[in-house]
Structure 1
Amino acid sequence: MTIKPQEEIISPKTSRYLNRIIHDIRQPLSSLSLYGQLLENKLQLSPHYQLAKNIKLASEDIDRWLSALLDLSRLDSGTMTVNVSDFSLVSTLSPLIKKNQFIAKQSGMKISVHLPEMQVTSDQRLLTEIVDTLLNNALLHSSSKKTAKVLLSVRRYQGKALLQVWNQGAKIPDQLIGSLFDEIALADNPLHNKSKGIGLGLPIAQRKAQLCNTNIKVTTDNNGSCFSITLNLARNIIIPTNLNNLANTPANFNILLIDDDQGILSALSMLLENWGYKVDCANTAEAGLRQFNLKSYHLVITDYRFSTQQTGLDVIKAIKNINAIPAILLTGEADPNKLKEVQDLAKKINYKILHKPVKPASLRFLLTQLLK
């Protein structure tokens, strides 16, 4: 499929405005997502269970829309940079695959993986985001079949690595094939299923793929659809890895939670305690550091922005100077420059980043990885 150059959709002025407003919206949305998860857990055996589940699904839809708008803003403002390197597909995609396997399992679906060890040359971050979009899309469009399977497959093809995501969803109508990767056409198309989102996921993934000098291609029939991208191969290392099984770590740890948004603090602490963790809370950076000095903790979760001059980065740096425990930084930040600062520092002092609204499944999976 030939992809035409993308026109600018969001002006620089609109982009700056979107960044500010998306950050503010993500705060209450994060609380809504966490409370929705709690409500779903509490009502599993209740006739109101489906109502609680629908609330959670609605909040997840809003999150996808905001994330898509933020990515579109960065693409149109030219602030999405490309960093090409050689890396292992297995080590890069393993956390992402396991996270999506966890999400799929909760819905009664399954993600199978065929991923032999090989190294490719691309942008590691962008490729991860592209594959995440393709897996999310596959799960979303297979969700009508509760026992549906999704397959992520990588193999050598014509001197390159061919990465494919197969789903068992309905056949894509012929009249939509040509506009699958066009933001404006999908938004205007009356045949587009709005219950599956606003249609920005695949177009944005395509634009990221183009930044990596490749394209997403699609084939579809009555058995489902396949989305493919080709990647340049680097040197090969053959180390067999099985990614089909997801380990589950028991939750018996002390966690320090720091956030100045009372809604998020309350919802997140309730969720963590519901999973079996012991949680202490603080609503300022200063109070969090004082609390940390009073007790032994296995992990700290802190917000990025506080009403004072201190940030979550200051908290993590101070704590790691005392004890190198795992740390998670929560952020609803949309400013590309601030996000780059957060990501660069994470590589230096070793902490994980979760973007608001916090996805309970992503948080739970991350905790199992950090608290082994």
Structure 2
Amino acid sequence: MIRNLGARLFRRQPQKHLDEELAEAGQTKVRLAALSIIAVYTATFGVLLAEDEFIAPWAITILVYHILYAPAAFAIFLWARHMPGHYPVRRLLSMVLDYVSLGCSIVVEPMVMMPLHTIILWVTLGNGLRFGKTYLRIATGFAVCTVLIVGFSIPQGQNAPYMMVMLLLSAVVIPHYASALLGRIDQARHEADQANLAKSRFLAQASHDLRQPLHAINLFTNSLQNTGLNNRQRQIVERIDRALQSLARLFRSLLDLSTLDSGTVAPKLEPVSLGELFQEIVLQNVQLAEWDNSELRMVDTRYVVLTDRVLLLTMIQNLVSNALKFSTGRGVILGCRRRGSSIAVEVWDQGNGIEEEYFPLIFDEFFQIKQRGDRDRQGVGLGLSIVARMAAILGLKIDVASRIGRGSRFTLSGLPIVQDAKVTVTLVPSGNDRSPLRDWSVLLVEDDTDILEATAGLLSSWGCHVVATTSIPATIQSCDMIVTDFDLGGGQTGEDCIKFVRQLLGVEVPAIIITAHDDSRIAAEIGDPNVLVLKKPLRPAELRSTISSVRARLTSG
């Protein structure tokens, strides 16, 4: 039992709230500030009340004591800075040092130092408000002991017991009142957490239910474009598709923001080829650039960085989409530069530029620069705020530079290099790699027959040999890739399908799971780098570029 208690005291404990580390650091800074205030107070009155000496002897005694106490307070400050977290022994040791310091100061010269009783209350309330009701009770116990010891040690305590009773009551009643307030705060926080959890559950369910029809409409619109429409009909379908893509981008932004608000996003670091990532982003935005009569180019690179691929892809995608939106009829360039041992990704546009006064605001949620008479643009101002939040998660820095009338440059810096390589400065136009996937055998599994038919038609139009089924096939001769939905009905999932087919063929067949669930959660649950997870609604260009990159990687390997 004693061993377990000791382990709990010295071991880092789980934190209840994300701001607990900031509270610990704040308490150490307050301690140093209080130490300085007491020293100045003591020195000032020591000089003013001195009779024959320059400074009164009692003041020297207190100052010497605080000089000896200062290294301990500074050591606790460094301890909290270099080892953040909830360590009970550190908090208890800090309390002991605080109350001993204050009590000794009062005992040395009660008449002058009695105002330090207010600092005793300050320390008690500070521990409670920062660390919760348990530490408030412990601090109250220390405060009561300090007042009792001081009361029995000084003449005023013996000659004026009523004053000591008043001090003792204040040391108990005020923290008790604070404890009641903390209880209400905890209750309010619990209710807020429950409301936030309910919102997250609602959005998760809405995400799943809304992604499916959006994904289906996306596929059907693309299939309709390949049915021999006349020019007028093709224009109408393109406008429908354009509106659908705007809705899908807004939908993704809202769900990305909700996921970030939930605090569940944890980066999964892996080597990422920037060249392949750039190529994928360019292919995904070909149609958007064509619609806006813009030109999207990339500077090819062979650098490999250590980062979370999904988060980096989302950030760059948001930057490119934002650049295209404000560069109608002009150009956007995607590239990177080396900065020491890291890489900075840059997105350049030829838009109208951004006033410098707006630089601190453009990464705020729902902020949009819009002047009177400006034309309406799609979006609600979430793209850059999502980039800023994801950059913070990955420890990256986001910067902006702009010149009015010339354009803007957004930079993501701090990506650590894994593989050093020279950059091939080649401008790759947006439509350079649109060849079909000829002779590529794909097993397609989707329980929705309409989506199954539309996806099979797309794959076939790209030159793939498609075996399409609504459930896990009992047998299959061969396939180069598996494309499957996650929820297949009957308690079966896409993961089950992939495992069964691989076992049946005896080959680690590359696979893609298309899901309406949180893609990062599904990827973490599967834990297989050879299984890519794409989230609905999925644009055909995104599916094609993903399959192409897998095929290219296998061919080069």
Which of 244, 255, 258 is the matching residue for 2:428? 244
- 1:79–1:336 Cα contact (<8 Å) kept: no
The equivalent of 1:296 in structure 2 is 478
Which of 62, 80, 83 is the matching residue for 2:265? 80
Residues 1:51 and 1:188: Cα distance change in structure 2 (over 3 Å): same
Aligned AA (1:362)? E
More strand by share: 1
Give deviations 1:117-151, integer Å, cap 9, x for gaps. Answer: 55656544423321222122223333x21xx3321
Q: Distance in 1 between matches of 2:316 and 2:206?
A: 27
Return 5+ residue gaps in structure 1 as ranges. Answer: 1-7
Equivalences for residues 117-266 of structure 1 within 5 A: 117-118=302-303, 120=305, 122-142=307-327, 144-145=328-329, 148-157=330-339, 161-172=343-354, 177-186=359-368, 195-220=377-402, 221-231=404-414, 233-234=416-417, 237-241=420-424, 244=428, 246-247=432-433, 248-266=435-453
Aligned AA (1:99)? E
- 1:74–1:336 Cα contact (<8 Å) kept: no
Equivalences for residues 290-329 of structure 1 within 5 A: 290=474, 293-323=475-505, 324=507, 325-329=509-513
Equivalences for residues 25-104 of structure 1 within 5 A: 25-42=210-227, 45-83=230-268, 87=271, 91-104=272-285
The equivalent of 2:533 in structure 1 is 353
SS at match of 1:216: strand
The equivalent of 1:4 in structure 2 is none
| CA deviation after TM superposition for structure 1 residue 362, in Å | 1.0
| CA deviation after TM superposition for structure 1 residue 33, in Å | 0.4
Aligned AA (2:350)? Q
Aligned AA (2:363)? F
Which of 282, 291, 314 is the matching residue for 2:469? 282
Q: Distance in 2 between matches of 1:174 and 1:192?
A: 19
Q: Distance in 1 between matches of 2:269 and 2:441?
A: 39
| CA deviation after TM superposition for structure 1 residue 21, in Å | 0.9
TM-score, normalised with respect to structure 1: 0.81
Residues 1:24 and 1:189: Cα distance change in structure 2 (over 3 Å): farther
Q: What is the identity percentage for the equivalent residue pairs of Structure 1 and Structure 2?
A: 29
TM-score, normalised with respect to structure 2: 0.56
Q: Distance in 2 between matches of 1:364 and 1:13?
A: 36
- 2:337–2:345 Cα contact (<8 Å) kept: yes
Give deviations 1:56-97, integer Å, cap 9, x for gaps. Answer: 122212221222122112211110113457x4xxx5222321
More helix by share: 2
Q: Distance in 2 between matches of 1:84 and 1:274?
A: 35
- 1:121–1:231 Cα contact (<8 Å) kept: no
Coordinate RMSD, CA, aligned? 3.2
- 2:349–2:409 Cα contact (<8 Å) kept: yes
| CA deviation after TM superposition for structure 1 residue 32, in Å | 0.3
Q: Distance in 1 between matches of 2:456 and 2:220?
A: 11
Report which of the two structures shows the higher radius of gyration computed on alpha carbons. Answer: 2
SS at match of 2:273: helix
Which structure is higher in RCO with an 8 Å CA cutoff and minimum separation 6? 1
- 1:97–1:243 Cα contact (<8 Å) kept: no
Greater shift, 273-282 or 353-362, is seen at: 273-282
| CA deviation after TM superposition for structure 1 residue 101, in Å | 2.4
Greater shift, 178-187 or 45-54, is seen at: 178-187
Q: Distance in 2 between matches of 1:223 and 1:44?
A: 40
